[in-house]
Amino acid sequence: MDVFEAINKRRSIRRFKPDPIPDEHIAKLLESARKAPSGTNSQPWRFIVIKDDETKKELQRAANNQRHVGSPPVVIACCADMKSFAEFPERIDELIEAGALPKNSRKFFVPSLKKRMNATPKSSLQIAAAGNVAIAITNMMLQATELGLGTCWVRWFDNNKVNEILEIPDHVEVQALLAIGVPDEAPNPRPRLKLDEITYYEKYGNKL
């Protein structure tokens, strides 16, 4: 299956068969997430693989009783570690080591990023964290499609309750619960805006 096929085939799946998911498949999903790009290669994503039925039921209750949180064989809680943004000097060194940045760029990048980081409000870091983790989640959803698995990205939950259930530390924020399993439904594509409703040329608002 090529990428465009996976993009076209993916649906949010809310009914799952009870079939277990092989550990190799879970490992492949996590590996797909790990390869995602992120700002300054910060890689803020952290994942909790949840198979325990009682934990899934508790999460379902914390997620406004959405059945597809309690029913799939696996739920992956996709989190952002807010501490990872402070670790950019190490990430810059790794990028230099890998040849992705010129050797002398540390002198420039580290002080300027430090300055920017100190001036960045927490809310902006939270937006960055959400964006970075979203890419990793998308990678997992597309890889799951290729493996014949269905997923549903769930964000509608009570953060405090989920944090308590999963023993999330203060510096970590749960971005999504990703329900994963063999689909027990084959929904039609959901509606999308037309391409000419979302695309402009050269300046915002210019249509062809």
Ligand X SMILES: Cc1cc2nc3c(=O)[nH]c(=O)nc-3n(C[C@H](O)[C@H](O)[C@H](O)COP(=O)(O)O)c2cc1C
The footprint of ligand X (CB under 6 A) covers 11-12, 14, 66, 152-156, 190
Residue type, 161: K
CB 16 within 8 A of CB 179: yes
Q: Compute the least distance from the CB of residue 21 to ligand X, in Å.
A: 19
Q: Compute the least distance from the CB of residue 177 to ligand X, in Å.
A: 8
How far is it, in rounded angstroms, from Cα 151 to Cα 72? Answer: 9
Helix axes 53-62, 159-166, angle to 10 degrees: 160
Nearer to ligand X (CB atom), residue 96 or residue 134: 134
Q: Compute the least distance from the CB of residue 63 to ligand X, in Å.
A: 7
Q: Compute the least distance from the CB of residue 16 to ligand X, in Å.
A: 13
Nearer to ligand X (CB atom), residue 11 or residue 56: 11
Ramachandran class of 168: left when φ > 0, alpha when ψ lies in -120 to 50, beta otherwise: beta
Q: Compute the least distance from the CB of residue 8 to ligand X, in Å.
A: 10
How far is it, in rounded angstroms, from Cα 7 to Cα 121? Answer: 35
Helix axes 88-97, 105-119, angle to 10 degrees: 150
Nearer to ligand X (CB atom), residue 110 or residue 130: 130
Nearer to ligand X (CB atom), residue 17 or residue 106: 17
Helix axes 122-146, 23-34, angle to 10 degrees: 140
Residue nearest to ligand X (CB): 156
CB 79 within 8 A of CB 133: yes
Q: Compute the least distance from the CB of residue 139 to ligand X, in Å.
A: 13
Element (H or E) spanning 200, and its range? Answer: none
Nearer to ligand X (CB atom), residue 12 or residue 120: 12
Nearer to ligand X (CB atom), residue 35 or residue 155: 155
The three-state DSSP-derived secondary structure of 19-67 is: CCCCHHHHHHHHHHHHCCCCHHHCCCEEEEEECCHHHHHHHHHHCCCCH
